[in-house]
Structure 1
């Protein structure tokens, strides 16, 4: 389970809106800036609408133990992001302060006990309001309860959650939409493929469940990353 993380003086919660699935992409902040599409949504409320096509982005970890734990969970998704054009790589260990953003271009992974004060919930966000909306990295706080035996959670959910939070830090938000037109955007109410696979960014617990594909991005998620790159190019960011 997961929600969006906001960093100011300390971690706080930010709820973001979504657009109906299948609706025409919405353009904001000038011509060529698209913030929503089928199965993906950008963190535009926090001012993040793009990723630099040339800036390196590096995933770092608060401890060596976290690096060893999470690297296998993230490897496939990082490779997919690279194939989509994001210069993303898995890095090493550095100090993480959840109250502020780290170095430019760093996506920092740490663990916290109940980041949202709710059992089983992790939290991730991009550094808010970067210049020209071009993401500068962010923080993902994974609930430590997953690993201390105090909270039961399926392995596939943990793996998808770690990737989900990393993508929050890059600038993707939940793509949940009011598919049944009842006036409420509900949990897991997301567009799906013909095989029933929902975006890994769907809240909560989207993504593949099979051993072969768990932790991988769906085509919806890849399209979101491509939109972040396209938005930056539209603003002349190289």
Structure 2
């Protein structure tokens, strides 16, 4: 019976050890999915852990919702399309899917309702998720009509009032796409408070800050904050692939 020379055995042993070390290093250095970061957080409470790269569309529950709100979703939809890489199209489509039912895949239905939560000034997103991979599916956005029907709802300054309306609509879109409120206990007093969110050098908070990010510069109204929300959405998009492909863990 032929035998493997001793020198070959030693060489194979050395090679095996080297390969094992390389595999260990590779496993440790592989990127994995992340569900929070500076100024952003995944809405895992709604079972959403990623954002699909496939297109999404915004539709409307009524002609009133379409005429009142379509223009408010154009800018944030374009921002996600160009800066995140997920195409979102604002359509003229009407969809009467009931609130308690998830719409077809990647459809976001916008409603224009008076106090949809039974409280003054409260709007809400109702995100749905894909059961197969926990990516953002779409869902319903319920905007409180009081922002438009009551003069100066947010501010007596028209430009500020309009910027806050834009922020409110884009905020709810952010929830549908998988972002949660990123409030955190910055002052370490044991309580996470309203408005307690990180700020960038310009003093701007994340758009998803709860209940809002206060008064943004009017030029920023309705835009996801470049330092916080956009990196969060990009990571959620990356998570879609990482959650499928990431097997080894360091």
Report the TM-score range of the alignment, normalised by the length of the smaller protein. Answer: 0.7 to 0.9
- Equivalent runs, 1:219-230 vs 2, <5 Å: 219=226, 220-230=228-238
TM-score (normalizing by structure 2)? 0.76
Find the residue that maps to 2:235 and give its secondary structure.
helix
Q: Retained in 2: the 8 A contact 1:175–1:201?
A: yes
Q: Retained in 1: the 8 A contact 2:129–2:135?
A: no
Partner of residue 215, structure 1:
222
Question: How far off is 1:101 after superposition?
Answer: 1.2
Larger helix share, 1 or 2: 2
Q: Retained in 1: the 8 A contact 2:129–2:138?
A: no
1:35 paired to 2:11: no
Measured in 2, the distance between the counterparts of 1:199 and 1:211 equals 15
Partner of residue 142, structure 1:
143
Question: How far off is 1:151 after superposition?
Answer: 8.3
Partner of residue 10, structure 1:
none
Measured in 2, the distance between the counterparts of 1:231 and 1:189 equals 26
Question: How far off is 1:44 after superposition?
Answer: 0.9
Distance change (3 Å), C-alpha of 1:100 and 1:207: farther
1:234 paired to 2:242: yes
Measured in 2, the distance between the counterparts of 1:57 and 1:161 equals 20
Q: Which has the larger displacement, 205-214 or 184-193?
A: 205-214
Partner of residue 75, structure 1:
74
Measured in 2, the distance between the counterparts of 1:199 and 1:157 equals 14
Partner of residue 98, structure 1:
99
Q: Which has the larger displacement, 225-234 or 55-64?
A: 55-64
TM-score (normalizing by structure 1)? 0.80
Q: Retained in 1: the 8 A contact 2:33–2:239?
A: yes
1:157 paired to 2:157: no
Find the residue that maps to 2:182 and give its secondary structure.
coil
Q: Retained in 2: the 8 A contact 1:145–1:151?
A: no
Q: Retained in 1: the 8 A contact 2:42–2:178?
A: yes
Question: How far off is 1:207 after superposition?
Answer: 6.9
Question: How far off is 1:208 after superposition?
Answer: 6.2
Q: CA RMSD in A?
A: 2.0
Measured in 1, the distance between the counterparts of 2:215 and 2:39 equals 14
How many residue pairs get aligned? The number is 206
Measured in 1, the distance between the counterparts of 2:78 and 2:153 equals 29
Find the residue that maps to 1:107 and give its secondary structure.
strand
Question: How far off is 1:199 after superposition?
Answer: 0.8
Unpaired segments of 5 or more residues in structure 1?
1-30
Distance change (3 Å), C-alpha of 1:150 and 1:72: closer
Partner of residue 121, structure 2:
120
Unpaired segments of 5 or more residues in structure 2?
1-30, 155-160, 246-250
- Please say which structure displays the higher CA radius of gyration: 2
